[in-house]
Amino acid sequence: MRKHIILTLLVCVLGSNIYAQWSKGKGNGYYKLSAWYLQSDQHYTDTGAIDSNATRTQFNTNIYAEYGISDRIDLIAYVPFLTSTSENNQVSGTTGEVISEGESVTSFGDMDIGINYGFYKKGNWAASVKLLLGLPTGDENAGTDGNFQTGDGEFNQYLSTSLGYSTSLHGLPFYAKSYLGYNNRSKGFSDEFRTGLEAGINVLNSKLWLITRLNILKSFKNGTLNAVNSNGSIFANNIEFSSFGFEAAYYFTKNLGVSASFDSAFSGSIIAANPSFSGGIFLDIK
């Protein structure tokens, strides 16, 4: 059963909207140190049904950074410098004996680097285009059976465009944005279409941002790998999902703050059916 259970690192997929920020401006930047956690005991099958599986935990500690090299161009980096995949012992419900020993693997994860270009800004509207390169810096064949990867072993290129609108609601700063993207994957993985919406409002004397988001990923199913392939056992081929998420970001000072978020797929295929959680500290230089 384990080879049919695909627990992808949702931070790499659901996080796509995080990168769709307004242009930072020359010399400005956003830097965040955070941890992401997912414990899953069930998954969406390839037919969209929910099935149980041995409890598996995904955890990473990462750094995300944006830096404005001009008024329109930002450099982007996502570095999961500590990534862990573990699975509990499988124990017989009748005898109490351990059927399968649990295991844990920790290593560096797959990095993203890229660039965001703000090509339009007029009034309350802004639009940008972004290119992210997914680098295979994690371990694609970890664990005794190769099913505890911390990377997918493929080099991908994700191109997207976003459109945003900022205004105020009853005197409170508010924004909404949407994005469309295409992820070109290599080494037999299917290409992907991604889209989503995000909205946020600033409250508590401009100290607290409350954010909600919707993300959708669809596979073109043009690859050669499948869920039983060892290369697709964690960073899966042909995953699909629709998910919602919430985030709160609180500024202690003008530049320093903390954030916490929650994301969960409400439908999907070959993906974990449990929520993921993230929290971190950030520095926003503007």
At 160-199, the pLDDT tens digits run 999 999 999 989 999 999 999 999 999 999 999 999 999 9
pLDDT at 103: 83
| Number of residues that this document lists for the chain | 286
User: How many CB atoms neighbour CB 243 within 10 A?
Assistant: 22
pLDDT at 126: 94
Cβ neighbors of 227 (< 8 A, separation 6 or more) are: 3, 4, 6, 46, 233, 236, 237, 238, 270
| 204: its two tokens | 């508590």
Instruction: Find out if CATH 2.40.160.40 is the number for domain 2-87+103-285.
Output: yes
Mean per-residue pLDDT of the chain:
86
Q: What's 14's DSSP letter? A: H
| pLDDT beyond 50 at 276 | yes
CB distance 62 to 286 below 8 Å: no
| pLDDT beyond 60 at 11 | no
Q: Which residue has the higher pLDDT, 10 or 189?
A: 189
| pLDDT beyond 60 at 231 | no
Strand partners of residue 133: 113, 157
Amino acid of residue 250: Y
Measured on CA atoms in the order 218, 221, 225, 226, is the torsion positive or negative?
positive
Q: What's 147's DSSP letter? A: -
The arithmetic mean of pLDDT across residues 195-204, rounded, is: 96
Distances from the Cα of 214 to the Cαs of 35, 55, 181, in angstroms?
21, 26, 14
Distance (Å, whole) CA 116 – CA 161: 9
Strand partners of residue 209: 202, 249
CB distance 259 to 282 below 8 Å: yes
Amino acid of residue 149: Q
| pLDDT beyond 90 at 258 | yes
The arithmetic mean of pLDDT across residues 12-35, rounded, is: 70
- The domain spans of the chain are 2-87+103-285
